[in-house]
Structure 1
């Protein structure tokens, strides 16, 4: 089927030193990636002018398998692995994206992880920076790939600590001359205090860009994924690919308020924010829970 496709390969990603998947996807024409919290935890990706909020107009895949916790219902991107995990990123726009499942009106982003090494080897990386930023990664194996990444920091604003753990296992087994079986397992954990509320103009001018009164906001997420892919070369340019996958996603999200107009915090609290006056972190006792628990499993063929 017709469509526009572009691939960001390992060389491009490494040479550009991309910090988040948003930075990587901005290299693709027609893609708008909007930052949320600076770590790329919940990317907002839009294609060809479509609304990028929570990436709901596109399908996010990892090696052909949906990343969203509810790809056929609510495919909002509240889970997204670190860009460090991937070797290549494929972006498909146009009619050809219809082959890859639901929510493809804007296109498809398919992330590809490295293949396991045939000989034993690996590498380790570590980086550190201001605001307690640390980023460590270990990639090692022979036949079986083990990839583990840890990233943490205080974020761009006060009271916005973030800590991520991402473990990925991958094994590829050849079956004869024309078939292969790929097995994967991954575990992701996020512990962050990212708020949902931005700054009023007065807060920005009087209290600074890092000001954030919502120290009690909390976002904890865990995701476990298992998948198997069987590929068979049928000859004459035809392939049969079968995916079987399972994922469990749990989100424990508590926040004080959405914005300065939230009536649950009271008129005095909102007036102080609009005036640029510092408020006590515990002054707003409105608690809005956004708890989710999803299990997702399916098989697909292509």
Structure 2
């Protein structure tokens, strides 16, 4: 029989007469490291009836998983990444409806990603996974991605799930889940070498991205893949030297016809200068310059995971999965600080001190879960998912300040947070009328105990949070092409270390998420429309200017997302894509700012791409548009002299890509892509970014890219 494992992978189990080798190969046809194919079987198998046991609500993060998914969802394939000239993960997300990116570097090292109006700073309200494993520094106590240990060259696709996944994937799932899927282990040994060279208008040196991958099946039961990615050079700004090294190794071992182990190991090192914001006057004079000579960043992370999968002989189909994961990470921001009067971050003023924020993270987690399928061949089916997870987080959180003119170093903060978090979840996808209607009730419970220590003040405080988080999703297959869906789920973001700091018991940020929509899929043509609403209670907002969290109370995020892909039958060489998002994100707490638009949120967003293939070449014109936004809760329109407040103007960016195979045969191929990003050199900027929150933070201008990829 064929069925899906806990990550949605299709497997084929042959009849009893099949040899062990063939069974092992069949199991290897898919793993959590994406669609891994094993060596070709020598014996023929008889495929029996199909039973599907789905132990992951997002399945395999593949295009096929989107078709009947009961919520708004987008999968960006490797082909789309290439054709839209994306040079980084955050750049690849720009055209997804509901996602907004503040690109502070042009290199993708420190992405700032907002989902449906939730704050973008260090992507702290976006839950990132890599192959289904949490990517964040600390899933509970520090959700900000101040280390982002992922590079675009290593990814096969990106799955953006905006709604419907909160029961299984938590916490910090208010804005949904973004799953980064790495490249699969190929069924025969394969090596890939690529080099991407980008030159920015106004830049002093190019940015080079070199990638190497080699891997395959060493035997019928063991597969291995090794990867290295090296990013070095500068972006379009002064003071932007970048050096990133990313190494990954993954393995799969088939223990028997019903058991397997998957392992992953990563080492990530990043160093980058941070050019910072500019005063309005300096921006108009030269947007490529930098006035923040002391701003730098370093990050290091060692990550690992091991997954054990066992197919169990009960129910119509069942599977046990045990995932263990962990990482040890450290990062250091350094920035200029003015303590002589005026705003500390005003780029027009000279810094008097240098501040650093060294932080260390040690995280360990274990998550056993089971999927059970009942009702094979019946009009009513049930797909149960039951799981639990334990996570321990150990965070060291410091802040130092050293006078530039010389003197003693002060340590304003020396904090420690130890977190023990237990979660349990259960859901049951009930299929009615031969799976035409699927109703999935679910429940998640989070119990989090945090111990905060202020080492400087020699104070310790405990903080405990327990929340019950129900969810319900419904999908109705109107026809083979049309699916309507609705979902409602309660989500949380646990108290952050920078907010707890011994102030007493602090509760979580809580939100109810609602969606209703419809999706059409016919071959390569598709359409999706979704209405969404997020009711947020006690939302915390990081104030970069004061370096503190403010509780802004209730906020409301609601809107409409549209996306479409059209490939004409009469002209299959043409592919057209478009997306639109309307977002109304407002403050709802009583006070002078009630009803005002949340900072940095754009009411209107557009994305588009058009690809035409001719004479062996693919040409793509793509782009995105975001309407203007405010910088503060008061919705101040006029820009002040420092650039700390005022509207952020709208912007529209066009990209062009030309791709072709220079060489191709049965043994390998050499492909070339030539791209121009920001084709018309749109000059736009952001505000309020982390360690340089005052002024205009320039976005990347026009750049030219040559990408060569050889696989053999």
Q: TM-score scaled by structure 2?
A: 0.38
Q: Aligned partners of 1:88 and 1:271: how far apart in 2?
A: 40
The Cα shift of 1:39 comes to: 1.2
**Unmatched 5+ stretches in structure 1:** 258-262, 275-282
Whether contact under 8 Å (1:164, 1:191) holds in the other structure is yes
The Cα shift of 1:122 comes to: 0.6
Which residue, out of 269, 272, 289, partners 1:211?
289
Cα distance, 1:285–1:182 mapped onto 2, change above 3 Å: same
Cα distance, 1:264–1:84 mapped onto 2, change above 3 Å: same
Which residue, out of 279, 293, 296, partners 2:363?
296
Cα distance, 1:49–1:170 mapped onto 2, change above 3 Å: same
More helix by share: 1
* Residue equivalent to 1:9: 77
* Residue equivalent to 1:109: 178
Q: Aligned partners of 2:171 and 2:192: how far apart in 1?
A: 37
Query: Within the alignment, does 1:273 sit opposite 2:341 as a pair?
Result: no
| Bigger CA radius of gyration | 2
Higher mean C-alpha deviation, range 229-238 or range 34-43? 229-238
Q: Secondary structure at the match of 1:22?
A: helix
Which residue, out of 187, 190, 199, partners 2:278?
199
Whether contact under 8 Å (1:250, 1:294) holds in the other structure is yes
* Residue equivalent to 2:270: 190
Cα distance, 1:28–1:268 mapped onto 2, change above 3 Å: closer
**Correspondence list, 1:8-47, <5 A:** 8-47=76-115
Query: Within the alignment, does 1:180 sit opposite 2:241 as a pair?
Result: no
Query: Within the alignment, does 1:59 sit opposite 2:138 as a pair?
Result: no
Cα distance, 1:15–1:174 mapped onto 2, change above 3 Å: farther
Q: TM-score scaled by structure 1?
A: 0.87
The Cα shift of 1:272 comes to: 8.6
Whether contact under 8 Å (1:41, 1:78) holds in the other structure is no
Whether contact under 8 Å (2:193, 2:213) holds in the other structure is yes
Runs of 4+ in structure 1 deviating by more than 6 angstroms, as ranges, are: 268-272
Q: Secondary structure at the match of 2:137?
A: coil
Q: Aligned partners of 2:254 and 2:269: how far apart in 1?
A: 32
Q: Secondary structure at the match of 1:110?
A: strand
Q: Aligned partners of 1:264 and 1:237: how far apart in 2?
A: 65
* Residue equivalent to 2:151: 82
Whether contact under 8 Å (2:331, 2:360) holds in the other structure is yes
* Residue equivalent to 1:128: 197
Whether contact under 8 Å (2:279, 2:346) holds in the other structure is no
* Residue equivalent to 1:91: 160
* Residue equivalent to 1:278: none
The Cα shift of 1:238 comes to: 4.7
Q: Report the number of matched residues.
A: 287
**Unmatched 5+ stretches in structure 2:** 1-56, 58-69, 200-204, 217-222, 370-712
Which residue, out of 70, 73, 81, partners 2:141?
73
Higher mean C-alpha deviation, range 149-158 or range 213-222? 213-222
